[in-house]
Amino acid sequence: MYLFIYQEGEHDVILGRSPVSKYGVNSATTPESRFWTRSKNSLARMTEGSMNFNRISAIILRHYFLTLHQMERFFDVLIAPILVLIMWGFLSKYVQDIQSQTLAAFLLGGMILWVVFEKVSTDIGVHFMFDIWDRNIINVLASPITFAEYLAALISVSFIRILLSLASMGIMAAVFYNFQITVLGFGLALLWVNLFIFALSFGILNISLVLRYGHSIGPLTWILPFFVQPFAAVFYPLSILPPIFQKIAFVLPIAHVFEGMRFTFQTNQFDFTNFWWALGLNAVYLSASFAFFAYTLRSALRSGRLVKLI
Amino acid sequence: MDNKVVLEVKNLVKQFGNFTAIDDISFEVKEGEILGFLGPNGAGKSTTTYCILGLIIPEGGQIKIFGKDVLKKRSEIMKEVNYASAEYNLPWNLSIWENLLVYARLYEVKDAKKRITELLEIFEMSHLKDKAIRDLSTGLRARAILCKALLNKPRLLLLDEPMASMDPDVVDKGIKLLKNIQKEEGITILYTSHNMWEIEEVANNVIFINHGKIIAQGTPLELTQKVLKHEGEEANLRDVFIHLSRGGA
């Protein structure tokens, strides 16, 4: 039996138990319909109709100050990606000597683009966790900021950080390994957009899981991207995967991005088929992650979990 | 003189599963008033505060601040509200100045640097502005949090045990500074605390809540006379608190 809830303005009003249909449950209050209705209402509540860029910039300013004060954040943006690049650079150089230049490009290009996905997807969740660990989250959320603005700020911070990482890796790869990621041309930007959107979906999923299960689930933030890696075909073509893995890979936008990257390296042409597949799938994943976030947020606001995150 | 109602809580109900945390409470806080919000642990004080901030959605009732519904106009209302609790920190690695600058932007404070300088002077912290929060003593951290809470010249300030676990000297200084600025800027305050002396010092009126229900209200002196049934001329909220917490009427 479900409580029958209707909306009066922004208030949920509990009337009592719902009338039961011949299927046993009122069709208007099935778990699925409630999920979408609540998600939609929560999205409206999250934005309150508009976004305030002053408040978004406040959170970005805080992350700028934090990066200046905490060397580990600087390390995370510039040094860690460069260290990974050095390792893969040597491996690619070795492969280039014994095999082919294309394979070396696959490896190095794959690694540089994988970092985009891995960093953005973890950054969003980690920045949220930092606010919890600092015991600052309630001070922030008690301010006029809306949840949509807060999320937009975390996404913006990740965007800035990944641009810095990508630029530093691109320069290092060009200088030390004579590898120009820019040979992908405008296609690089398109591949990057799809990677960024898919990583956003993961980041938002991370925050939703923390809202739902508390900060003890935080370490999952670092692990989740690696669940995808075997199917993403970052360093090898999709065709070498077993058929069942290929089917899983097909529904992941990231696998289309890396297939597209390899196609461009091989043919010097942009792979629009894989690009559109990735974009379409991304639209589904991003919508689903926003809906899930809105649903868990509403549930956290109702159950009091939001104020018990610390 | 009839002051305007700043905060209006009407028939508020909050349940967590089968547990009723707030059981149909109603109260008002008028402009310029400091209302002490008292009750034992788990009485529902913090839950009420979170509902007022829009961080918990109640099952029933309505909360209006400046005549507007919190659940409908939260963002607009919160520009003129602020909150402080000793339970929450400012980011430890940022300096006091940086933290206040960030919060000034969040609250869209005009001429933020001037306001921050002014508050740091009032709270005698100007010389510490570049110190990281982690390097401050508990008392200084509480003062930094109070600076944050006053940044936007709030019309309504929600203080949830802002001086918890601080020594009496720090509490005394904090209370004096707060009272001065409250008088100067005419702030309305909802003040939650377990320290009865603190409440006696600051509150014009007191609400006592237990098991999610309001069980007594009035001025500190009225409550003392009514609950302890004696005609003394000095408030003794400590004894009132013990009496009511143990089920006395």
Same domain, A34 and A104: no
Q: Which tokens is A72 given?
A: 């580990």
> How much is the pLDDT for A182?
84
Same domain, A41 and A77: no
Q: Which tokens is B126 given?
A: 């100007």
> How much is the pLDDT for A286?
97
The A residues from 119 to 148 touching B (CB cutoff 8 Å) are: 134-146
> How much is the pLDDT for A9?
42
Same domain, A121 and A27: no
Please list the residues that pair with B8 across neighbouring strands.
B28, B64
A16 shares contact with chain B (CB less than 8 Å): no
Contact A69 B132 (CB under 8 A): yes
Look at residue A30 and tell me whether its pLDDT is greater than 90.
no
Handedness of CA B97, B102, B107, B112 (dihedral sign): positive
Residue with tokens 């909360």: B63
First to last CA, chain A: 33
Q: With both helix axes pointing from N to C terminus, report the angle between A272-303 and A31-47 in degrees, rounded to the nearest 10.
A: 90
How buried is residue B1: exposed, middle or buried, by Cβ count under 10 Å (0-12/13-18/19+)? exposed
Contact A10 B16 (CB under 8 A): no
Same domain, A301 and A206: yes
Instruction: Give me the interface pTM, i.e. the ipTM.
Output: 0.91
> How much is the pLDDT for A10?
41
> How much is the pLDDT for A102?
78
Same domain, A176 and A251: yes
Identify the segments of chain B with pLDDT beneath 50: 1
Question: Measuring CA to CA, which residue among B209, B210, B237 is closest to residue B221?
Answer: B237
B123 within domain boundaries: no
Which residues in chain B are contacts of A66 at CB distance < 8 A? 91, 93-94
> How much is the pLDDT for A94?
65
> What is the rounded (10 degree) CA torsion for A273, A279, A284, A285?
120
A188 shares contact with chain B (CB less than 8 Å): no
Is residue B189 within 8 A of residue B181, CB to CB? The reply is: no
Integer Cα distance of B51 and B57 in angstroms? 6
Which residues in chain A are contacts of B148 at CB distance < 8 A? 139
Where is pLDDT greater, at A108 or B52? Answer: B52
B231 within domain boundaries: yes
Which residues in chain A are contacts of B101 at CB distance < 8 A? 61
Same domain, A126 and A241: yes
Look at residue A12 and tell me whether its pLDDT is greater than 50.
no
Cα nearest neighbour of A150 on chain B? B106
> How much is the pLDDT for A75?
74
Look at residue A226 and tell me whether its pLDDT is greater than 70.
yes
> How much is the pLDDT for B1?
47
Same domain, A37 and A173: no
Same domain, A66 and A204: yes
Q: For residue A25, give its domain range.
A: 1-47
Look at residue A19 and tell me whether its pLDDT is greater than 50.
no
CA-based nearest distance B42→chain A, Å: 14
Candidates A54, A143, A301, A302, partner chain B, best to mutate (most B CBs within 10 A): A143
Where is pLDDT greater, at B98 or A175? Answer: B98
Same domain, A13 and A135: no
> How much is the pLDDT for A181?
85
B137 within domain boundaries: no
Q: For residue B217, give its domain range.
A: 1-80+154-161+194-249
Instruction: Give CA B210 to chain center in angstroms.
Output: 18
Confidence category of residue A14, pLDDT binned at 50, 70, 90? very low
Average the pLDDT over A154-183 and give the result. 90
Q: Please count the structural domains in chain B.
A: 1
DSSP string, A212-270: HH-GGGTTHHHHHHHHHHHHHTSSS-GGGS-HHHHHHHHT-HHHHHHHHHHHHHHHSS-
> How much is the pLDDT for A26?
46
Same domain, A212 and A282: yes
CATH number at residue B51: 3.40.50.300
Confidence category of residue A1, pLDDT binned at 50, 70, 90? very low
Candidates A5, A10, A12, A139, partner chain B, best to mutate (most B CBs within 10 A): A139
Is residue A259 within 8 A of residue A238, CB to CB? The reply is: yes
pLDDT above 70 coverage of chain A, percent: 82
Integer Cα distance of B99 and A276 in angstroms? 44
Pairing of strands A11-17, B60-65: unpaired
Contact A14 B59 (CB under 8 A): yes
Same domain, A2 and A100: no
Is residue B88 within 8 A of residue B80, CB to CB? The reply is: no
Q: Which tokens is A112 given?
A: 């540089």
Which residues in chain A are contacts of B50 at CB distance < 8 A? 304, 307
Q: Please count the structural domains in chain A.
A: 2
> How much is the pLDDT for A48?
65
DSSP string, A52-114: -HHHHHHHHHHHHHHHHH-HHHHIIIIIHHHHHHHHHHHHHHHHHHHS-HHHHHHHHHHHHHH
Considering only CB atoms, A145 lies closest to which of B50, B72, B106, namely B106
Please list the residues that pair with B156 across neighbouring strands.
B81, B188
CB atoms within 10 A of CB B49: 22
Question: Measuring CA to CA, which residue among B215, B212, B155 is closest to residue B182?
Answer: B155
Question: Mapping DSSP to helix (H, G, I), strand (E, B) and coil, where does residue B36 land?
Answer: strand
DSSP string, A82-96: HHHHHHHHHHHHHHH
Integer Cα distance of A17 and B106 in angstroms? 42
Look at residue A115 and tell me whether its pLDDT is greater than 60.
yes
> How much is the pLDDT for B249?
62
> How much is the pLDDT for B119?
95
Which residues in chain B are contacts of A8 at CB distance < 8 A? none
pLDDT in tens, B48-67: 999 999 999 999 999 999 99
Confidence category of residue A24, pLDDT binned at 50, 70, 90? very low
Contact B88 A302 (CB under 8 A): no
Which residues in chain B are contacts of A52 at CB distance < 8 A? 75, 108
Residue with tokens 């740091």: B120
Contact A142 B57 (CB under 8 A): no
Contact A144 B85 (CB under 8 A): no
3 state SS for A141-210: HCCCCCHHHHHHHHHHHHHHHHHHHHHHHHHHHHHHHCCCHHHHCHHHHHHHHHHHHHHHHHHHHHHHHH
pLDDT above 90 coverage of chain A, percent: 44
Between A and B, how many residue pairs show a Cβ–Cβ distance under 8 A? 117
Residue with tokens 């609250």: B107
Question: Measuring CA to CA, which residue among A231, A263, A258 is closest to residue A247?
Answer: A231
Cα nearest neighbour of B19 on chain A? A303
Where is pLDDT greater, at A119 or B237? Answer: A119
Pairing of strands B60-65, B34-38: unpaired
A5 shares contact with chain B (CB less than 8 Å): no
